């Protein structure tokens, strides 16, 4: 096969100068003719394997990178997937969580187990982050149970005492289920960004309907993307 030096360096994920030097020193089974590098694919593959170096032809390489960097799911798709529910019943944390878990739209999930996990997490410390908002979530991500991260938005029928950080009663809950810690943090930080805005909290207190709520979330996310 015939490649240019730059291509070879990209295939081996090495600096051009290193490959150039190795060819000159005869340490790599490539023969150079002017700017063209001549090599046998099988030989070079074997060599790279023996020296535990990567070797990908340019078209194979892209697929690998795609697999390595899955995009993080943003709030809006997660909320759309999870759904928005009003008038969640319950007078205390346990009962509210119980009725929230019932709303989870994923069938494959073991709701009893999830409920226990949520309680475990609450026992650790309250997930009420203040301003009347709580973000209950299991302590560990659920890579097995769900395909995509989702947020179940629950507007409560009555405000309850959630032992939140500012001791204010909670009226909105975002039940956060994600597949990976990374995505969990990503969603959590985005939610926190929204909640930091007092106008948004005011808006939540009006118990908006599903479509206006989701469009508000979209606006918030756009704002976040711009400042980044």
Partner 1 sequence: MRILRRWRQPASWSIFRQDDRLLLILIAVIVGTCSGLAAVVLNRSLIAMFEWLHHFRHYWWSFIIPAIGAALSALFLDKMVKEGAGHGVPEVIYSVSRYGGLMRFRSSFSRLISSCLTIGSGGSAGPEAPVVMSGAAIGSNIAKFFSLNDRQRVTIVGCGAAGAISSIFNAPIAGMVFSMEIILGEWKAANIVSIAIASVAGTEISRILQGNQIAFSHRLFNVGHLDIVACIGLAIISAAASILLTRLLGSMHGVSKKIPFPTWMRAAAGGCAVGIIGLFLPVVLGEGYHPLRTMIEGVYTQGIGIVTVAFLAKILATSLTLGWGGSGGIFAPCLVIGSLAGLTYHRGLLLLWPSVPWVNEGCFALLGMAGLVSGMLQAPLTGIFLIIEITGSYEVILPLIIVSVISTTLCHYIEPASFYLKELVEKGQLLRQGTDRSVLSDLSVQELLEKDCMVVKQNMLLRNFINIIKKSHRNYFPVEDERTGHFLGIIHLDDIRPYLFNPLMYDAVVLGQMMDTNVEVVYLDDDLSEVLQKMDANRVFSMPVIANKKFIGMISKATLLDKYRKELMVQTDL
Partner 2 sequence: MHTQLFHIFRNTPLGRETLLQSIYFCKKTGSSLIIYIPEFTKFLMYFENDVVQIDLDNSYLISPETALRHAKELLDQGNIKARFLKPKNYTASTLPDISTNFDFMCCPRSISDLSSKIGLGYIGPRVRRIVNSARFPILITSSVFKKWRSIAVFFGGSANAVNALKLGLRISRASKIPLTVFTHAENTSKESYEEIIKNENLAEEMDRYVTKWHIFESGKFEENLYNIPHDALVILGAYGHSLIKSIIFGGKMETIQSIITNNLLIAGPNYALTR
Residues that bind partner 1 (CB under 8 A): 14-15, 17-18, 21-29, 31, 33, 38, 40, 43, 50-53, 227-228
Min CB(16)–partner 2 separation in Å: 6
Per annotation, catalytic residue among 51, 86, 137, 186: 137
Q: Which is nearer to partner 1, 51 or 89 (CB)?
A: 51
Look at strands 128-130 and 133-134 and give their pairing.
Answer: antiparallel
Q: Is 137 a catalytic residue?
A: yes
Q: CB of 170 within 8 A of CB of 207?
A: no
Distance, CA of 222 to CA of 74 (rounded, Å): 11
Q: Which is nearer to partner 2, 33 or 211 (CB)?
A: 33
Min CB(38)–partner 2 separation in Å: 16
Min CB(26)–partner 1 separation in Å: 3
Min CB(198)–partner 1 separation in Å: 17
Q: Which is nearer to partner 2, 35 or 42 (CB)?
A: 35
68 binds, among partner 1, partner 2, none (CB under 5 to 8 A by kind): none
Q: CB of 150 within 8 A of CB of 96?
A: no
- Chain positions contacting partner 2, by CB under 8 A: 5-6, 16-17, 20, 24, 34-35
Q: Which residue has the tokens 């909290």?
A: 201
Q: With b meaning 16 or more CB within 10 Å and e meaning fewer, what string describes 29-63?
A: ebeeeeeebebeeeebeebbeeeeeebbeeeeeee
Min CB(36)–partner 2 separation in Å: 11
Distance, CA of 35 to CA of 166 (rounded, Å): 68
206 binds, among partner 2, partner 1, none (CB under 5 to 8 A by kind): none
Q: Which is nearer to partner 2, 6 or 189 (CB)?
A: 6
Closest CA to 84 of 133, 151, 137: 151
228 binds, among partner 2, partner 1, none (CB under 5 to 8 A by kind): partner 1
Q: Which is nearer to partner 1, 25 or 69 (CB)?
A: 25
Distance, CA of 132 to CA of 36 (rounded, Å): 67
Closest CA to 47 of 11, 21, 5, 17: 11
43 binds, among partner 2, partner 1, none (CB under 5 to 8 A by kind): partner 1
Q: CB of 83 within 8 A of CB of 152?
A: yes
Which residues are tagged catalytic? 137
């Amino acid at each position: 096969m015939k490649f240019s030096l730059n291509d070879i360096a990209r295939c081996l994920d090495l600096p051009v100068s290193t490959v150039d030097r190795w060819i000159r020193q005869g340490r790599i089974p490539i023969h150079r003719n002017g700017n063209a590098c001549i090599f046998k694919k099988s030989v070079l593959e074997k060599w790279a394997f023996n020296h535990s170096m990567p070797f990908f032809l340019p078209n194979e390489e892209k697929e690998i990178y795609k697999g390595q960097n899955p995009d993080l799911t943003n709030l809006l798709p997660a909320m759309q997937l999870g759904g928005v529910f009003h008038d969640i019943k319950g007078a205390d944390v346990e009962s509210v969580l119980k009725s929230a878990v019932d709303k989870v739209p994923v069938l494959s999930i073991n709701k009893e187990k999830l409920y226990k996990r949520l309680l475990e997490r609450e026992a650790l410390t309250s997930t009420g982050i203040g301003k009347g908002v709580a973000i209950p979530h299991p302590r560990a991500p659920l890579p097995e149970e769900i395909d995509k991260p989702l947020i179940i938005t629950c507007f409560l029928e009555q405000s309850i005492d959630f032992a939140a950080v500012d001791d204010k009663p909670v009226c909105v809950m975002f039940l956060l289920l994600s597949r990976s810690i990374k995505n969990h943090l990503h969603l959590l930080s985005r939610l926190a960004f929204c909640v930091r805005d007092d106008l948004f909290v005011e808006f939540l207190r009006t118990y908006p309907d599903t479509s206006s709520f989701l469009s508000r979330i979209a606006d918030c996310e756009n704002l976040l993307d711009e400042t980044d």
